[in-house]
Amino acid sequence: SFSAVPGEPSVVRYSVPVIERGRPMSITASEARKSLFPLIKKVNDDHEAIEIVSKHGNAVLVSAEDYTALREGSYLLRSPVNARRLLKAYENALSNVNVSERELIDPDAAEQALAAE
């Protein structure tokens, strides 16, 4: 049983399943409900999806950042022409073909130069 001492900080412990690297974590909806906040932290820290299994269907918990990246990738690869162009650019970058190096512009210096004109 848990008894908190008034005025003292209390500690709440959560059980989060641990998995082997490379294998997707799969938990029941009941387990996910009990450990929701630690699971949210885990997907944001590890960037590994967690499959939630239920008799009503399965779902996947991913960080918002990873979800946005998946949607963006899906959008960019939707067009076969764009997918081929991106794949070619990626292959060129890996083999240092048609790769050029450019100085980054200091945004503060650019603003100051415009203001001085």
Average pLDDT, the chain: 81
111 in a structural domain: no
pLDDT in tens, 13-23: 544 554 455 66
Number of domains in the chain: 2
When pLDDT is averaged across residues 1-25 and rounded to a whole number, the result is: 52
CATH number, residue 45: 3.40.1620.10
Whole-Å CA distances, 75 to 61, 70, 71, 72, 87:
20, 9, 6, 5, 14
DSSP 103: P
Q: 54 and 81 share a domain?
A: no
Q: Are 67 and 88 contained in the same domain?
A: yes
Average confidence (pLDDT) over 19-37: 83
Whether 31 is covered by a domain: the verdict is yes
pLDDT tens digits, one per residue of 43-71: 999 999 999 999 999 999 999 999 999 99
Q: In what order do the strands lie in the sheet with 50-53?
A: 25-28, 50-53, 59-61
Q: Does 6 fall in a domain?
A: no
